[in-house]
Structure 1
């Protein structure tokens, strides 16, 4: 009964448009008041303890690095390079959007930041080239989800902290799944563009154009190598790598490209403070929520329930993924990870999936939630950038959603997609 009240009150508060952080805290408070002798102080204690982590410091620095890179010209140069490579193919501009999102994902660690930064360039450009505005917006929203799969990824940092998995291994494991997701979106882009007659640009790829564009974007390509290389070779922790990313983005934006002004730096810091404040608030109260679940033994009960449903690994993986897809469509990935990762991971490990693979699988599921109503935050961002109604995006979102689910199933049932690079390195 108490779990019904806990989750029921949480869902009701979400439906009443109460912010997620407050909904989590209030649901915990209501349940404690009705069913438990535990002091209300438990909420504040666990909330403070939950954010008292050195690893979580990586989040504001990655957010800041992504904002500075976007404002400093790195995103534009990635876009230009992608345009040179695939712009002449059928549906080339749509593919440019996807490829640029994949590159920018390796800089920002945020799905919303990726959609906003790339969408602000590409949605108007696609509309000018005759693409349907609904398709342009839907594509920017879907491709932007790759921002939390390809490292560095803020949700992967959260997952690593919650379950004690290696953040370095999680980052490496996310590379191939992110590429697979991007390829699935590109295939859909080609099919829709072929059907609609969206031709590529007439300017063809030449060695000279490729070299000029590559040299111009070389500083952007170096950023992921510096971040991931530093982590995986033991030079720095993920948090220290995030600080390096901030310094690198400041250097490239101010010294190399000279597009980062004092005003842009101020706006990047302001955006980081706002986003990190909301994120930290959610993380803290989610930790209190999860602590109460653990005190009451819910993880063990759910694990026993899932194990009793089936002894088939294939079927269990499918059930868990459907559940995560539903969760991702309702709430933000951060509280979902904190609450569900400790519950589901033991079950998945019993059926042969390791913590690193499950981390990538979980984040990929929740990433798809960014384009799934009613939560679908990327849809709202793309809608605002394109200045269109949600209805114009839906018919295209369905195809993109299905492609991403197919890519997800490949990752789920083919472990080398996540562990091959980890084992090699």
Structure 2
């Protein structure tokens, strides 16, 4: 049964069917071929999206869209320029730090690139940077978004693996800061070797204070989110709803740039993005059910534990699987398919669920940077109006710091598990 499912799935991918269609259609054909009840298609699909934690996904997307609509990203960009722009390679550092700041609002790599990618490349070009380099660091820095809370992929993982969503969101904080440090350290090395330019910004105290004051309401968004999670006042779903309310509040009353038209347009875009994600979730649930009927999770778990009961060895195997899967599968689909299969064995071997989630998401976010299905590459190609091949060549050098960060998160479980366990004891 599994072989039939995978062959049909592979054929559909080869003929470039959308990933959601490939998942759902291959599952439907397999169910029909093996005379399984067709009612499962609808039942599993509906049950998979009838989930309270998944309500956080559209609301975080909406909150990020509302904050972007206020135009505050421009103010934050100028603020970060004043802080680090004068060092050599300063605009590249600005790029990374801005991605970290925006990560606390968006929770998605593609949202980061879509909101700021064109502006970041344009500003770096104006400062004398090679366009390919500018696109590469913009894409690499966007991997921070899905790791730092609110992380949509981590919420999806928590749902698929049936683990604590709050702990997983908190688990992403230290790894996100680690990725930031790795990218900035790598930029510093390149800046020295290639004599990268310094920013021509002339910071003054009054200008810095003005930009800080303007940006403060938006910068408080992740503080509100993380503070609420830590205090136990709300979970991920409630946090998402409060973040939307806060974004509307500051957009209307403080920035006064969030118009009714912008609200309607952002809501429409959120509905479209949510429909795409939930279509994948529903189709992947049916796909996973077929695998479960053939006892693939149990067989995979037994196979993995038969190789070793050392969690590090199993995580290395998982990384190899994900590196290949990330080249061909959309990240959310990969999480929904792979997480239920491998998580039980890794938990049994002693790997913390927070580490498993962060390793999986980080690995798959690196997959967004790899052809042929690297969506971040396509997004930047469209946003910056660059040839796809040029974007690929631009991001290639930045795989080194990202893989170093992935290796550290894999080797040291405390990087992911320490903070949520310490704060939630």
Match of 1:156 among 151, 154, 157: 154
Q: Report the Cα distance in structure 1 between the residues aligned to 2:349 and 2:384, rounded to whole angstroms.
A: 44
Residue 30 of structure 1: aligned partner: 29
CA contact (8 A) 2:297 2:340 kept: yes
Output one character per residue of 1:124-172: Cα deviation in whole Å (capped at 9) or x when no partner.
1111111111111122111112111111011111111122211111111
Residue 368 of structure 2: aligned partner: 370
1:277-316 → structure 2 map (5 Å cutoff): 277-316=275-314
SS at match of 2:276: helix
Output one character per residue of 1:350-387: Cα deviation in whole Å (capped at 9) or x when no partner.
33211122111111111111111111101111111111
Residue 147 of structure 1: aligned partner: 145
Match of 1:334 among 332, 335, 343: 332
1:210-221 → structure 2 map (5 Å cutoff): 210-221=208-219
1:258-277 → structure 2 map (5 Å cutoff): 258-277=256-275
Q: Report the Cα distance in structure 1 between the residues aligned to 2:127 and 2:184, rounded to whole angstroms.
A: 18
CA contact (8 A) 2:84 2:93 kept: yes
Q: Report the Cα distance in structure 2 between the residues aligned to 1:201 and 1:270, rounded to whole angstroms.
A: 38
CA contact (8 A) 1:168 1:228 kept: no
Output one character per residue of 1:197-237: Cα deviation in whole Å (capped at 9) or x when no partner.
32112446565554433222211221111112222312122
Q: Report the Cα distance in structure 2 between the residues aligned to 1:372 and 1:192, rounded to whole angstroms.
A: 22
TM-score, with length taken from structure 2? 0.95
TM-score, with length taken from structure 1? 0.95
Residue 5 of structure 1: aligned partner: 4
Q: 1:415 to 1:210 in 2, by over 3 A?
A: farther
Q: Report the Cα distance in structure 2 between the residues aligned to 1:257 and 1:231, rounded to whole angstroms.
A: 26
SS at match of 1:155: helix
Point out where structure 1 has 5 or more consecutive residues left out of the alignment: none
CA contact (8 A) 2:160 2:336 kept: yes
CA contact (8 A) 1:110 1:154 kept: yes
SS at match of 1:165: coil
The farther-off stretch of 124-133 and 77-86 is 77-86
The farther-off stretch of 404-413 and 179-188 is 179-188
Residue 398 of structure 1: aligned partner: 396
The farther-off stretch of 379-388 and 346-355 is 346-355
CA contact (8 A) 1:133 1:386 kept: no
Q: How many residues in Structure 1 have an aligned counterpart in Structure 2?
A: 423
Q: 1:311 to 1:184 in 2, by over 3 A?
A: same
SS at match of 1:371: coil
Q: Report the Cα distance in structure 1 between the residues aligned to 2:246 and 2:264, rounded to whole angstroms.
A: 17
Residue 69 of structure 1: aligned partner: 67
Residue 256 of structure 1: aligned partner: 254
1:92-107 → structure 2 map (5 Å cutoff): 92-107=90-105
The farther-off stretch of 201-210 and 97-106 is 201-210
Is 2:194 aligned against 1:196? yes
Point out where structure 2 has 5 or more consecutive residues left out of the alignment: none
CA contact (8 A) 2:55 2:237 kept: yes
